[in-house]
Homo-oligomer: A and B are copies of this chain.
Amino acid sequence: MAVNLNIPAQDTILPVDGIEIGVTEAGVRKANRRDLTVFRFAEGTSVAGVFTRNRFCAAPVLVCQDHLGKGTAIRAMVINTGNANAGTGESGLAAARATCDALAGLLGVASDQILPFSTGVILEPLPVDRIVAGLPAAIKALGPNNWFDAAHGIMTTDTLPKIVSRKVSIGGKTVTLTGISKGAGMIRPNMATMLGFLGTDAGIDQSLLTQVARDVADVSFNRITVDGDTSTNDSFIIAATGKSGVMVTSAEEPQYAELRDALKAVATELAQLIVRDAEGATKFMTIKVEGAGTQDEALKVAYAVAHSPLVKTAFYASDPNLGRILAAIGYAGIDDLDVSGVNLWLDDVHVAVNGGRNPDYQEADGQRVMKQAEILVRIGLGRGNVTETVYTCDFSHEYVTINADYRS
């Protein structure tokens, strides 16, 4: 029951010159399921990534960080679903490296030019033999028009594929950006999300791309939450092939900001798609905190509201039990918060004024907004000029059902 999640028509998805994709069924956990995806990048492609801060980060995340840290040109990615290869210790690391070795051999590149990704159940051994056995079929399928297959190939509890594609003009030249994402639960990215891959035929220096990837993640995947659970496998990758002829070599060039902003727009849309397809979601909520003194306190308040099970269940019920939002603001961790400066709006309805109920507030107005599928919760703190926005969803019976049954 995804919330206003639009899947674009397959023929509107633009290939990215320099990127080929192949998807196959490797039977990692279940049969008859596209669970193995390979990306191949043309020579000259810059690749940068942002990864989970979870200390129990998965083996493939460690290998990605190792390979990106070496500075060798990344030429391919391999992604399996069905198993997260997390909480698997030394043998998990060996399994991730063995996957890279096998793909490197088949593609004729070095093992440290491969980035591996896994997503699925934690604390179970990766069936590396099945993955390696599936690689030839994935390679055989490599082609520029398989973004849609890849969006399907990386799904786990997602109900719909998540894909965004657009053309933008950078420095007067046309550039393509196409990206996919996945994730529906264990979503509270910290530096990146479950899995997000964004390709462009713009070119950009490797060193600049690393900073751009962080900036992009910070306004997109780092601003969504479903259940507050930061995954062990969060990874967000940008690959810039340069095949469009656009080449950004300095942060001072106007094209730098143009490209960064275009990437931010696509990544934000991809991140929101994850919330729209969140486990059991029936509502899409934008939590906007204004008038904060610092970014940190704006985010504390936004996440306290976004994570409160009581707030989330009230939205599920379309019940304007809005004192629960005030309670969450109050425990968010701003020790010197003066509640008499706090205001609360639901869309255009002014619910609380100066820390108390707005005398003009009518419950019928709150009720009207609560029944919508998309709701803006706007909070004024009255402490400064910082604004931050976080995207989240409600908390339903279906979330409990999905997560009580996920492995069975």
Contacts and interface: CB of A to CB of B under 8 A. Distances in A.
B123 A407 contact: no
A232 B408 contact: no
A74 interface: no
B317 A405 contact: yes
A397 interface: yes
B323 A86 contact: yes
A334 interface: yes
B404 A314 contact: yes
A354 interface: yes
A92 interface: yes
Contacts of A254: none
Interface in A314-354: 314, 316-317, 319, 321-324, 326-331, 334-335, 337, 339-340, 342, 352, 354
Interface residues of A, number: 70
A319 to B, nearest CB: 6
Contacts of A53: 331
A127 interface: no
B56 A324 contact: no
Given A87-B357, A327-B54, A337-B55, A400 B395 contact: yes
Given A321-B121, A395-B400, A229 B54 contact: no
Contact of A229 (B185, B229, B308, B340): B308
A71 interface: no
A401 interface: yes
A305 to B, nearest CB: 11
A90 interface: yes
A89 interface: yes
A109 interface: no
B57 A87 contact: no
Interface in A350-403: 352, 354-357, 395-397, 399-401, 403
A122 B313 contact: no
Given A232-B326, A309-B228, A326-B56, A400 B316 contact: yes
Interface string A81-125: 000101111111000000000000000000000000000011111
A231 interface: yes
A256 to B, nearest CB: 31
B309 A355 contact: no
Contact of A228 (B88, B308, B323): B308
Contact of A185 (B57, B310, B331, B356): B310
A229 B310 contact: yes
Given A86-B326, A355-B87, A356-B89, A310 B403 contact: yes
Interface string A153-193: 00000000000000000000000000000000110101000
